[in-house]
Amino acid sequence: MASQLTDAFARKFYYLRLSITDVCNFRCTYCLPDGYKPSGVTNKGFL
């Protein structure tokens, strides 16, 4: 049996979701600075 994934508060995770993007979805100035242009990578590049 595989070991259980837990965080610092001992909460158990039963699945892991992984997103591959060049920016987060919060649209802060750290991830989206002035003049930001998407990298142009499409889903087809990952599949």
The pTM score is 0.33
Cα–Cα dist 11/7, whole Å: 6
Q: Where are the alpha helices (DSSP H) in the chain?
A: 43-46
The pLDDT of residue 12 is 92
Cα–Cα dist 2/25, whole Å: 32
Token pair listed for 9: 């508060």
Of the two residues 5 and 22, the one the predictor is more confident about is 5
Report pLDDT digits (tens) over 6-43: 999 999 998 888 877 777 777 777 777 777 776 666 66
The pLDDT of residue 2 is 64
